[in-house]
Structure 1
């Protein structure tokens, strides 16, 4: 009995130490779509993020060129990770260039509209184009706030009736 209780307690402690942090690399990246021009994902919603490379306001919409990076558990791009390719965010309306300077971290959600051929320097590049239904700007200090240690302790006691007693410890 004590052995079972000990194993249960150790399992609970280890589960409490499990972390969902870190970065998540999406199954379909802008770079993989640039290489394949896969039409089967056209219209599918994606959430990609990265660093603004350029912004171009047109008469009725704005195109934002973004260098994609993996997103952390909060949806913020991890600009210290390996880039995942480039994409264009097509925003229906005007975006203020001062609010989206080069290097600004953004997360964009919307359906894949298709592909647009362009250039990176002198090289040809096929950009996946994401309709920017949602655009989230990240502040420089937001990553620092998220990386602070966050520790919580909790204790619980319960009874399941006449002879069932449980004790729990959480971290």
Structure 2
């Protein structure tokens, strides 16, 4: 019985999902679509939203981050393959470096709604929901690796183990184990 219990504990700990920065903030099940209609009626409501950074403005005592909102998946990461919901602005009391919080970086934020704020998009003035952050998680950037681990020509295949990898145009990216030759 104990081996099964150990397996269940390990399995459940691997499925935690949300990053710690946004997991511990209690939130209401209020979506962006509801709040964007009338943000002032949802003041002091805690939410967890995410999206892609559009712009970062550092003021003297706070930072404003404009985000293009996307629905979140089970682990709290924005689903960029879904339809964008609109924009919102995050107000953070911390300094957020625009080089780190660069355009097109994915983030998830947990915080409370303060109302709305006026922003200019092109030549149009719009009112966007303003979210005071209690936790922000900046998602790591996926980097494409054209070759397997270990550099060009060597790598790991889930089917053959460690071996040689030929990613050239003639081999079509087929994994061949070292004993093949």
TMscore range, shorter length: 0.5 to 0.7
Match of residue 35 from structure 2: 33
Alignment of 1:16-165 (within 5 A): 27-29=30-32, 31-34=33-36, 36-141=37-142
> Distance in 2 between the 1:94 and 1:138 partners?
18
SS in 2 for 1:33: helix
> Distance in 2 between the 1:118 and 1:32 partners?
20
SS in 2 for 1:51: strand
Match of residue 12 from structure 1: none
- Count residues with an aligned counterpart: 116
Cα distance, 1:88 vs. partner?
0.3
Provide the TM-score with structure 2 as the length reference.
0.60
Tell me which stretches of 4 or more aligned residues in structure 1 moved more than 6 Å. Answer: none
Cα distance, 1:94 vs. partner?
0.5
Contact 2:115 2:129 in 1 (8 A): yes
Match of residue 153 from structure 1: none
Provide the TM-score with structure 1 as the length reference.
0.63
Match of residue 8 from structure 1: none
1:108-144 CA distances to partner (integer Å, 9 max, x unpaired)?
A: 10000110112211222111000111000001229xx
SS in 2 for 1:40: helix
